[in-house]
Chain A
Amino acid sequence: MEAASIGGGERSVLKRSPLARLPDRVLRYGLTALAASILALIVYFFVKLVGEAHPAFAKFGVLGFTFDNNWNVSANQFGALPLVVGTLITSGLALIIGVPVAVATALYVTELCPLRIRGPVTILIELLAAVPSVVYGLWGIFFLAPKLQPAEQWVADKLSFVPFIGGGLVTIPNYFITGLVLAIMILPIVSSISREVMSTVPPDHKEAALGLGATRWEMIRMAVLPYCRSGISGAAMLGLGRAIGETIAVTILVGDAPVLGDHLFGQGYSLAAAIANEFGEAQELHRSALFAAGLVLFVLTLLVNVIARLLVMRAERSVKPKRTAADFAETTPPLGAGASA
């Protein structure tokens, strides 16, 4: 019989010889060593990265490198502020544009969508993640950017009094189009995590709201969104991390100009784009500066991802009421105490 054969016959586990236990021990220690070596590998890479970045930090100082507005390759001067600011502007834009849309799609799929098209819509959103970033960059620069330029010009002219948006030359590669395409790229990840969080809302909460006469939207606003706040924030942070680290699409779309962005529709730079562009031919100090930029990028994504994980973990822990109904009944005297039960 198969059941007996998997156990090796009649012998009890306790009577098994050490030799028979050997595969188990090999497996256990082997896998533990594997897990430990992954940790060691990550630490090794981090240490090596710091080592390669050191000459740049030694010359410009850690704060000097990160916050100096002076990325000048020909003069061998490397202050990474334009890169950092560009990274933050493009990722910020991606968040502002992408998260509301992603949350809306998650809401639609979990709350408002007819059952039959739930599957296809979900798959279509997730297919957005299948498009390689180089294709996003090319589609953005050859199709979307020229199409949107007239509209961007109109906005820049109409709102020329607004500091960041108006005034200045509207170029085809610019911060805005980069942020827009990044928003499309982070849509699937923010949407899928939001969807997961929204599907864990207890039906009781929703039904209670509906039972009290709330409209569909009021129910979402009262029962679904507050419950999902932490989870959605976590999803947004994960999207932010993805946007910060995106290299190829940003390189193609942002214009690669190492200037501190002062208008939305102008060219800029980013940490990852600088590395992609300049690493191939960089020498010595320049190369070290690019490694240092990589280190800044790494620390940035690390921070964002840690915060994201903490938020998602907090959301996953079930929302327990501080006082249950029974506690309340015990400690609070009933209204009109003394009246008959």
Chain B
Amino acid sequence: MSASAHTLDRFAVSTRRRRKDRFARGTVVAATVVALVPLVLIVYYLLSKGLGSWSPSFFSTDPTGNTFFAASSIGGIKSAILGTIEIVAVASALAVPIGLGVAVWLVEYGRSSRFAQTVRFFVDVLTGVPSIMFGLFIYIALIVGTGSSYAGYKGAFALALLMLPVVTRSAEVVLLLVPGPLRESALALGAPRWKVIFKIVLPTALPGLLTGILLAIARAAGETAPLLFTAGATMKTEFGLGGFMNSLPIQIYTDVTSPTTAVVNRAWGAALTLVVMILLLNLFARLLARRSSLG
């Protein structure tokens, strides 16, 4: 082959193709920048409107029902923060063991059997269910049926239903990444199945499992719709889950339509608080994922 006929120099590409290439690549970069702009705008907006409301008393006093007086008497968001923490904690206590249990079953026992495929399919279906449906489901099961009214634990159940498929799906992915030979070596040494699962598989998968769990918690903490008709809303700090319970998303949603500016500012302070909590959970989860030895 003569060198001159096959030199791969830049001028072999026609100007038209080069222009198209540059234009397309520019568009892709521009689109990516456009995709990142909302995040910056939202964070900036939240900081500008919410930071002003932050103060020690903001976090340590309950919201009062006062909406007509000066800012000093409307109270803070203590019950909302505590309510969110409590409801999400109970929801996690329910969803994490059950979700992990289903994931372990899918990976260790069910694998590709017909029944396992059905379970997997239904779990996938659950991930796509609108969040308000979980509130409706719990409403039908626990409020209509029993004739009782809103309660904190019912909100926790609704959030647990929401978290369950997320935990199961992410746990299944991580558990599948545990190398088969690791299990097999333990079994070959005579370990019973349950020991292999609890002492080998789960500890190996732990960072990835934690990441999935933290992301599910972050998701549940931000949901409003499931709590609308299950946990109700109240002002006081309630530690008992049997009655109405306040939560950050509900507090924000109710406050923001108020005619009193001070109350609206409180809503923005609460929104900033909620976003900071969720972002911290997210970043922590991702740091954990980085340090995981799997995947």
Contact = CB atoms under 8 A, between A and B. Distances in A.
Nearest to A11: B190
A205 interface: no
A250 to B, nearest CB: 10
A45 B141 contact: yes
Interface string B16-45: 011011001101110110111011011001
B193 interface: yes
B68 interface: no
A242 B128 CA distance: 7
A158 interface: no
B130 A215 contact: no
Interface stretch (A63-71, A75-83, A119-127, A330-338): A119-127
A268 interface: no
B132 A275 contact: yes
A7 B190 contact: yes
A58 interface: no
Given A217-B20, A280-B229, A184 B253 contact: no
Contacts of A156: none
26 contacts: A4-B189, A6-B191, A7-B190, A7-B191, A8-B190, A27-B193, A35-B110, A38-B102, A39-B118, A108-B32, A112-B28, A121-B32, A123-B286, A125-B36, A127-B279, A128-B38, A131-B42, A132-B249, A135-B222, A213-B13, A217-B24, A276-B132, A291-B140, A297-B133, A298-B129, A302-B128
B194 A294 contact: no
Contacts of A309: 121, 124
Given A133-B224, A139-B45, 4 more contacts: A24-B193, A104-B35, A135-B275, A139-B42
A34 to B, nearest CB: 5
A48 B32 contact: no
B191 A8 contact: yes
B279 A184 contact: no
Interface of A is mostly: helix
Listed residue (A128, A143, A248, A304) with the most chain B CB atoms within 10 angstroms of its CB: A248
Contacts of B222: 130-135
A266 interface: no
A102 interface: yes
Given A52-B144, A104-B31, A216 B119 contact: no
B279 A244 contact: no
B122 A38 contact: yes
A48 B141 contact: yes
Given A23-B194, A27-B197, A100 B31 contact: yes
A280 B225 CA distance: 12
Interface in A93-149: 100-102, 104-105, 107-109, 112, 121, 123-128, 130-136, 138-139, 143-144
A276 B226 CA distance: 10
A184 B42 CA distance: 11
Given A20-B192, A139-B42, A31 B104 contact: yes
A48 B140 CA distance: 7
A253 interface: no
- 5 closest pairs, A vs B, by CB? A245-B130, A7-B190, A132-B222, A104-B31, A305-B128
Interface string B142-158: 00100000000000000
Contacts of B278: 130-132
Contacts of B108: 31
B128 A301 contact: yes
B101 interface: yes
B155 to A, nearest CB: 15
Interface in B98-134: 98, 101-102, 104-106, 108-110, 115-116, 118-119, 121-133
A254 interface: no
Interface in A24-67: 24, 27-28, 30-32, 34-36, 38-39, 42, 44-45, 48-49, 52
**On chain A, which size bracket covers the interface?**
35 or more
Contact of B28 (A104, A126, A280): A104
A257 B41 CA distance: 28
Interface in B153-180: 164
B131 to A, nearest CB: 6
A272 interface: yes
Contact of B132 (A102, A105, A130, A294): A294
Given A132-B224, A247-B131, A121 B189 contact: no
B72 to A, nearest CB: 24
A34 B101 contact: yes
B192 A104 contact: no
Given A108-B29, A279-B229, A280-B229, A134 B252 contact: yes
Nearest to B281: A130
Contacts of B137: 45, 48-49
A3 B132 CA distance: 50
A94 to B, nearest CB: 13
B271 A134 contact: yes
A187 B35 CA distance: 8
A100 B35 CA distance: 11
A248 B253 contact: yes
B130 to A, nearest CB: 3
Contacts of B267: 138
A89 B144 CA distance: 33
A48 B118 CA distance: 21
B136 A291 contact: yes
Listed residue (B127, B141, B192) with the most chain A CB atoms within 10 angstroms of its CB: B192
A20 B32 CA distance: 58
A294 B225 CA distance: 13
B34 A301 contact: no
A12 interface: yes
Given A107-B28, A213-B12, A280-B229, A34 B98 contact: yes
Contacts of B223: 132-133
A30 B218 CA distance: 29
